[in-house]
Structure 1
Amino acid sequence: MPRLLSLTLAAFAIGISEFVLVGLLPAIAADVHVDIATGGMLVTFYALAITVGSPLLTSRLSRYDSRMMLTGLMTLFALGNLAVAVSPNLAGLMAGRIIAGAAHGTVFALGAPVAASLVPKEKVGQAISLMFLGLTVAMVIGVPAGTAIGWRSTFTLVAALGLLAAIAVWVMIPSIPRRQGVRLREQLALLAHRPLALTYGVTALGFGATFAVFTYLEPLLAKHAGYTPGAITWILVLFGAATVAGNLLGGRLTDRLGAVAVIRVALAGLAASLAALLLRQNHPIAVTVNIAAWGVFAFLISPAVQTHAVSLASSYGPGQRRPPAA
């Protein structure tokens, strides 16, 4: 699967941009003279750009050569992060984050089917997990690297990685002929089909739960578990390493056991680990163990839901023959 490494690199750049903000938010807020709560809007607007921008861009771009579109999107992502790196105020940061967020969501919307198309059917789960490996590795090194070199240098580096990923995609991914485009109305109509609606709902709730907690993990560790800033950095590294393990395990289990079985196990484990984190937040050792378990289950689900969505799209997508309603 060497060609998939270009998508891994793209996901790695995206992952650093998304996750590094957790450790850098206090420094960014101080530099642009806003409080941390206001600075947290950088996370909110990034998420909104993914949620709103991705369907709009996907509906426009899905009809064109995926290699060309992914190359253009990673270039746009790089420009958005460069804008963040040089912006002197919150408005400029917001604009850059919105641009990068819109590209982020669309890269995964177009990239996952490309990854699936490059391997035999029985290895689709592993192919998608290889793409998402970049995202999880970014969680391991993103925060420590960002803390070490500062936030402006970090986003400059992310911009460079985004541009490098754009070049890698252009060189390594084969040209994919134009296909029938998917209009926004057709995307929304897919929600009328219960299997797809459930899959999207599981994705939103599962990742929403993880990142709602992750955004404020640093103050939780400092104020409740009593960790020092240095220790918090290593706890975040532990969480990232756990997500790498969960992602790789999820890909293998999805190909072996099926996506639905893995989704059920991952959701149960995610709910249990987050509940335990809440109940034992004042106990440092218990918090550390729960964070590791949470990381595994949080990304165990990732290859499974992506593989399941790609599979369902072959039945429920526009122009496809649909099975009887479940």
Structure 2
Amino acid sequence: MPVALWALVIGAFGIGTTEFVIAGLLPAIAADFGVPIPVAAYMATSYALGVFVGAPVLIILGSRASKKTMLAFLAGLFVIGNLVTAMASSLEVAILGRVVTSLTHGAFFGIGSVLAAEMVPPQKRVSAIAFMFSGLTVANLVGVPAGTWLSQQFSWQTTFYAITLIGVATVIGVLALVPATPKPKAQRIGHEFAAFGNAKVLLAMGITILGPAAFFTSITYIAPMMVEVARFPEGSVTWLLMVFGFGLFVGNWLGGRFADKALMPMLYGTLLGQGLVLVAFHYLAHSQVASVLCIFLMAAFGFATVSPIQKLVMDKAKAAGAPTLASAVNIGLFNLGNALGAWLGGLVIALGFGFTAPNWAGAMLSAGALALAIASGLLDRRHEISPEIALR
């Protein structure tokens, strides 16, 4: 892979750490600010919603800047946001810092996905995107458990100071490794939004929302679920998150490896597998051994869909001439799904269904994503059979 992709991996590692580490910090944040855990989870939902809103806005505002300039700017914004969260004296200020940080996420991955695909031959583009997303998986394998450990040993604020340093490393990596890129040609904003009138793009984006939302519904509340239901010691959350991170790593590798050959069958299998694992997790969460296995499989099946879906959206949007905007918006939709999952998981807990309820709620979302994937596949087959329809 081109050396410039390592700058994207560094950024993805920092972004993945700051996004997912919240799952291990919720009890400490709730105790520090004196709020229930579902209220502390606004730290997760506000971040996800910020990604959804910020991605298209920043892509449009930065449409005249080069990819390298935008990546460096976004990395700087990441540093500022995490500093605000680390120094926050109230939950409201901490949430504000999360929102500032979230503005980086969608645009960074949107621009990075396009840049990664442009650097390699067509037959390796999903693999290149998966390589960039490997920063997310390593974040969950190393960064999130380390951040959880820092919180338990020192404070949750210490975790965000450490993430700030990762942001500084990202700025340096972008400036040092990413080659100069030309400024894009000016386009009308209306043209940029043309891709969103494509039914295939909309179906793919629907999968984006529901698929990741399924496992995020569960993982957001994994700390109370494992401590209160499976009776793991509180300190075990750190290595349980490492299991989750290893599952993400394996899933990302499998998704990048096999989606270049059979993208849609890969989506069908992984979405079905994710839903079945979440159903099993609901009934087996009292077992420590079964819980560990379900956490790994949930992550592996869930993240195996990420780079294939991103490539699917980019392919469908490219014909409309707006792959960068569609790519960034799709990243925002991943996080809209995360917000949906965190909210739904908190809702079923608040309604009294218990800490295992997010698992069956997530399974329902996975079933919805599978239905959309099947609809997308049928639409592709219909267009292959009737070329006249495809040209419309």
TM-score range, shorter chain: over 0.9
Which residue in 1 is equivalent to 2:301?
Answer: 297
Which residue in 1 is equivalent to 2:98?
Answer: 97
Deviation at 1:121, TM superposition (A): 1.0
Deviation at 1:318, TM superposition (A): 4.4
Whether 1:258 and 2:262 are equivalent positions in the alignment is yes
Q: Deviations over 1:155-177 (max 9, x none)?
A: 11111111211221122112221
Which residue in 2 is equivalent to 1:194?
Answer: 199
Contact 1:59 1:183 in 2 (8 A): no
Deviation at 1:57, TM superposition (A): 1.3
Whether 1:268 and 2:269 are equivalent positions in the alignment is no
Structure 2 CA distance, aligned partners of 1:170 and 1:289? 41
Structure 2 CA distance, aligned partners of 1:258 and 1:294? 21
Deviation at 1:32, TM superposition (A): 2.8
Structure 2 CA distance, aligned partners of 1:216 and 1:8? 27
Deviation at 1:182, TM superposition (A): 6.3
Q: Deviations over 1:164-205 (max 9, x none)?
A: 112211221122212245666555543321111111111111
Residue identity in the other structure for 1:196: V
Structure 1 CA distance, aligned partners of 2:236 and 2:272? 29
Q: Deviations over 1:64-123 (max 9, x none)?
A: 201100110011011100111111111211111000011111111111101111111111
Which residue in 1 is equivalent to 2:107?
Answer: 106
Residue identity in the other structure for 1:254: A
Which residue in 2 is equivalent to 1:152?
Answer: 157
Deviation at 1:63, TM superposition (A): 3.5
Structure 1 CA distance, aligned partners of 2:315 and 2:103? 24
Structure 2 CA distance, aligned partners of 1:182 and 1:192? 17
Query: RMSD in angstroms over aligned alpha carbons?
Result: 2.0
Q: Structure 1: where are the runs of 5+ without partners?
A: none
Structure 2 CA distance, aligned partners of 1:182 and 1:277? 48
Q: State the secondary structure of the residue aligned to 1:119.
A: coil
Q: Deviations over 1:262-296 (max 9, x none)?
A: 22222111111112212322232222222211111
Question: What aligned pairs does 1:41-190 form with structure 2 within 5 A after superposition?
Answer: 41-150=42-151, 151-180=156-185, 186=191, 188-190=193-195
Structure 1's 202 and 16: CA in aligned 2 closer, same or farther, altered over 3 A?
same
Residue identity in the other structure for 1:156: Y
Structure 2 CA distance, aligned partners of 1:325 and 1:94? 47
Which residue in 1 is equivalent to 2:390?
Answer: 324
Question: 222-231 vs 106-115, which deviates more?
Answer: 222-231
Structure 1's 71 and 99: CA in aligned 2 closer, same or farther, altered over 3 A?
same
Structure 2 CA distance, aligned partners of 1:220 and 1:283? 11
Q: State the TM-score, normalizing by the size of structure 1.
A: 0.92
Structure 2 CA distance, aligned partners of 1:317 and 1:203? 21
Contact 2:11 2:135 in 1 (8 A): yes
Which residue in 2 is equivalent to 1:8?
Answer: 9
Which residue in 2 is equivalent to 1:216?
Answer: 221
Structure 1's 182 and 302: CA in aligned 2 closer, same or farther, altered over 3 A?
farther
Structure 2 CA distance, aligned partners of 1:248 and 1:183? 37
Structure 2 CA distance, aligned partners of 1:48 and 1:137? 23
Structure 1 CA distance, aligned partners of 2:104 and 2:86? 17
Structure 2 CA distance, aligned partners of 1:24 and 1:243? 19
Structure 2 CA distance, aligned partners of 1:79 and 1:66? 20
Count of residue pairs the alignment pairs up? 322
Deviation at 1:325, TM superposition (A): 5.6
Contact 1:60 1:182 in 2 (8 A): no
Deviation at 1:29, TM superposition (A): 2.4
Contact 2:24 2:237 in 1 (8 A): no
Structure 1 CA distance, aligned partners of 2:99 and 2:273? 32
Which residue in 2 is equivalent to 1:226?
Answer: 231
